[in-house]
Amino acid sequence: MKASFEKIKQLREELNTYNYEYYVLDNPTISDFDFDLKLKELQALEAQYPEFFDANSPSQRVGGMVTKNFATLTHKSRMYSLDNSYSLEDLRAWEERIQKVLGVSEVEYACELKYDGASINLTYENGSLITAVTRGDGFKGDDVTANIKTIKSIPLRLRNPILKNFQIRGEIILPLEGFEQMNKVRIENGEEPYKNPRNTASGSLKLQDSAEVASRPLDCLLYHLVDDKSPFKSHAEALEAARKMGFKVPSTLKVVKTINEVFDFIQHWSTKRHQLPYETDGVVVKVNSLQHQAELGYTAKAPRWAIAYKFKAERVPTLLEEISYQVGRTGAITPVANLTPIQLAGTIVKRASLHNADQIERLDIRVGDTVFVEKGGDIIPKVIGVDLSKRPANSQPTVYATHCPECGTALIRKEGEAQHYCPNEYGCLPQITGKIQHFIGRKAMDIDGLGAETVVLLYKEGLIKNYADLYHLTTKQLLPLERIADKSAENIIKGIEASKKMPFEKVLFALGIRFVGETVAKKLARHFKCIDRLFNASFEELIAVDEIGERIANSVIDFAQDEKHRAIIDDLKSQGLQFELSEEALAGRSDKLTGLTFVVSGVFETLSREELKKSIEDNGAKVASSISKKTNYIIAGANMGPSKKTKADDLGIPIISEYDYLELLQSKNKSTEI
C-alpha cells in the first residue's frame, strides 16, 4: 500500500514538472507518447487506490465533471476596472495626479501588455489551488474551478511555494493558432466558426462539461498577485516570485522610470503586437512600488495606481440605415444608429451609440450616410464620423425625436444637460422595468433568481408595478408564468426575502435616485444614518456633506418630495428593509473627529492603511489624498515621502504617528491637541 502511494506521488510530481516545462517554459523534455503513458499509469493506480484521491492531481486536468449551475462567490478583494487613456497627454495628466498625491517628482512604472481574454481570480491555500472565480461584476463572480483545473499552464500545486496563501489574477486566453485550429474543425464539420478568440475563451469557462473545456487549447497569463501582507516591495518583484512558483507570467513586462519610456514601450508594441501568439488590445501601466500603490488607493471604480492605454481602435465604414431611440431607467433618451452589419474587432456590429442630439448635430449625421464606426475601448461601438463624399443627393438633416418612442410623452431637455428625457416616470415601460432591474442588481439588493426578462414578464402580467411590489409576490402567483418552474419560483421568493438583510447604503443605492451612485449612497448613509433624516435634510445640510454638490442635493430633495416615492418607501419599510444603519455598522462610529481632514502616508505597524482610513471616516473625519491648507493632520508611517514632509512643514500641518492618532481617538474632546 505504501509503495503504491509513493509511486502515485512520484508520478504526480513528474507529470506536474512535465506540464510546467511544456506549457509554461515552452521547453518539453518528454515526448507526448511517453507523457500519455505515465498519465495512464497514474490514472490506473488512482482508480485502484481511491483512498489516495487528490483533487489537484494531474489526472484531474482531463476534466469530466459536469456543472449545471455555477455557484456565485464573493471576491475577498474586489476586482476593479481600469481607467483608459488614448494619448501621451492622457498619460502625462495621470502621472501629474500621481506625483501630487505621492508628493514625489519621480515614479517607477511597470508596463505590461493588456491581454484580450477573460479575467480570472485564483485562490491558493497551503500551496494548492482552492478556487477559480470569474471577474463577474468585480464584487462577485462564478466558481469555475473544475473548468480552470483543465488548463495546463495553471499550477494545481505550487512548485516553489514562496507564498502559501494568496490570490493571483490573470487572463484566460485562447492563442490564435489554437483558435484557428478549432475553427478549421468546426468548418469541416459544417458548423458555424467561432467569432473571435476572446469570446470563445470567455464562453469556455462556463461550459457545463469540464472534459469539453479540457479539449480546448486555453492558456492563462498571470498579471497581479494579491496579498495583504506582501513581502515584496514592487509589482515586478511580486510577479517574478509568481513566475518562480510556477505561474506563466509573460516576459514582456518592463520596468521604466519615465512616462516617455512608457510611451516608447507602447509605440513598440503597437506594431509588434501582431507578431504575438495571442490577442492584445493595449498596454497596462502600473506604479511599480507596492507602497506607492497603497498610498494612491482606489476611486469608486478603478485603482489610481494603474491605467490602460488602448491601441488605436479599428475603424470601419458602413451604411446608417435608421436612427432609433432607447429609453433608460431615468428617462434619458439615447439615439442609436442601426447599421448594415459589419465585422469590427472580432464581432458583428449592427448598432452603435450616437450619444445625444448635440453629437448628431456636430457630426451632421443623417440616415443614408456612410458612417465610420469604431469600438470605444474595443468594447462599445460608436459612430465617430461621416464620409461626406458618399452622402446621397437627396439627404435630409436629422430631426431629433420630440416624443418618447415608448409612451409618446413629449420629451424635455433641462438647461445645461446634453440628453433629452421622458418625464413619464410612472407610465413608461422601460423606466418602470429599468428601475426594478436596477433595484435587484448585484450592486444593489442582489436578488438571486430574478433577471431582467423575468422583471418584464412580472410587470406585463400585472404582478408588479414598482420594486416594492416584489415583496408581496408569492410562489403561487409565479408558478403559472411561462419559464418559471417550482424550483425557480422558490428561488425567486427566497432571494427576495434574503434581500431584506441588505444594509442601508445598498438599499439607498437601489432606490435609483438620480446621480446617487454607490459611493454617494455610502456617504449619505454614513452621514445621515437613516432615510428619514436624509429625506428631511435641507439643501444646505446636504451640500455640507463631503463631495455632495448642488446637482445631487437637488436630486435627493426632488425624490424625497415626490409622494409616490414616499409611498413606495413606506411600503418597503413595512416589509422589513433596512432604512437605517445597523447597530453593527454604527459600532465604533462617532462624531468625535467631525470637521477634521487627515492625510495618511507611509507604512504602519498596528493598523493597515485601509483600517486606518476606515477608522478616520467612521469617526466623522475626511481622508484626503493630498496635502492642502484644509488638512488638519498627517498620519505618517515609515517611508513617508520627503516632499510631503516638506509641504506639511511649509503649511504648518502637524505630522502625527498612528499611535498619536489612536490617542486622539480615545479623547472625548475632538479639539484635543497633540
Q: What does the pLDDT read at residue 26?
A: 66
Across the chain, which distance is largest between two alpha carbons, in Å?
88
Helix (H, G, I), strand (E, B) or coil at 185: helix
Residue 673: pLDDT over 50: no
Give residue 583's pLDDT. Answer: 74
Output the CA–CA distances (angstroms, integers) from residue 276 to 270, 272, 328, in the order listed: 11, 7, 41
Kindly list the catalytic residues.
114
Using pLDDT thresholds of 50, 70 and 90, give the confidence band for residue 341. very high
Name the fold adopted by 84-310: D-amino Acid Aminotransferase; Chain A, domain 1 (3.30.470)
Cα(597)–Cα(113) distance, integer angstroms: 38
Q: What residues contact residue 26 under an 8 Å CB cut-off, 6+ apart?
A: none
Place 324 in a pLDDT band, splitting at 50, 70 and 90.
Answer: very high
Q: Which of 259-273, 372-386, 400-414 has the lowest mean pLDDT?
A: 372-386
- What is 2-62's CATH number? 1.10.287.610
Spatial separation of the C-alpha atoms in residues 464 and 474, rounded to whole Å: 12
Residue 579's alpha-carbon distances to 83, 219, 439, 567, 582, in angstroms, are 33, 47, 15, 14, 9
pTM over 0.75: no
Give me the helices (H) in 536-641, please: 539-543, 550-561, 563-574, 583-586, 609-618
Q: pLDDT tens, 16-35?
A: 787 777 666 767 788 777 77
Cα first-last separation, the chain: 70
- Return residue ranges of the chain for CATH 2.40.50.140: 315-390
Q: What is the mean pLDDT of residues 466-486?
A: 93
Q: Which residue spans of the chain are classified as CATH 1.10.150.20?
A: 429-501, 504-586
Q: Which three cell numbers stand for residue 107?
A: 515614479
Phi then psi dihedrals of residue 166, to 5 deg? -170, 175
Least confident of 11-15, 349-353, 373-377, 645-649: 373-377
Report the C-alpha gap between 232 and 356 in whole angstroms. Answer: 48
Q: Which residue is associated with the grid cell 492603511?
A: 609
For residue 480, count other CB atoms closer than 10 A to its CB.
9
Per-residue DSSP letter, 411: P
- Asked whether the beta carbons of 136 and 142 are under 8 A apart, the reply is yes
Judged against a pLDDT cut of 70, whether residue 497 lies above it is answered with yes
Collapsing DSSP to helix, strand or coil, 116 comes out as coil
Supply the CATH classification number for the domain 597-666: 3.40.50.10190
Measured CA to CA, the distance from residue 69 to residue 143 in angstroms comes to 9
- Residue that has been written with the C-alpha cell 481602435 in this structure: 313
Cα–Cα distance for residue pair 8/33, rounded to 1 Å: 19
Mean pLDDT of the 450-472 span:
94
> Of all residues in the chain, what percent carry a pLDDT higher than 90?
56
Name the class of domain 504-586.
Answer: mainly alpha
Amino acid found at 334? T
| DSSP 8-state code for residue 289 | B
Q: What is the CATH number of domain 315-390?
A: 2.40.50.140
- 579 pLDDT above the threshold of 80: yes
Q: Phi and psi for 489 in degrees, rounded to 5?
A: -60, -40
How long a stretch of residues is the chain?
674
Q: Grid coordinates 448613509 are at which residue?
A: 525
Greater pLDDT, 436 or 482: 436
What pLDDT sits at residue 366?
96
Instruction: Identify the pLDDT of residue 21.
Output: 74
Name the DSSP letter for residue 288: S
For residue range 377-394, list pLDDT tens digits in order.
546 788 989 999 999 999
Burial (Cβ within 10 Å: 0-12, 13-18, ≥19) of residue 491: middle
The pLDDT of residue 1 is 67
Q: Which of 295-304, 508-517, 602-611 has the lowest mean pLDDT?
A: 602-611
Q: Identify any residues that bridge with 638 across adjacent strands, giving them in sequence order.
A: 603
Q: Is the pLDDT of residue 245 over 60?
A: yes
CATH placement of domain 429-501: 1.10.150.20
**CB count in 10 Å sphere of residue 418:** 12
All three cell numbers of 476: 403561487
Mean pLDDT across the chain, nearest whole number? 89
Where does the pLDDT of residue 64 fall: very low under 50, low under 70, confident under 90, or very high at 90 and above? low
Distances (CA, A) of 665 to 316, 618, 622, 624, 671: 60, 11, 14, 18, 11
Question: Would you say 172 and 151 are in contact if contact means Cβ atoms under 8 Å apart?
Answer: yes
Residue 105 DSSP one-character state: S
pLDDT at 674: 42
SS3 84: strand
CA neighbor of 470 nearest in space, from 501, 439, 442: 439
Q: Rounded to whole angstroms, how far apart are CA atoms 275 and 253?
A: 16
Q: Is 327 helix (H, G, I), strand (E, B) or coil?
A: strand
- The percent of residues above 70 in pLDDT, for the chain, comes to 95
Provide the grid cell at 639. 517611508
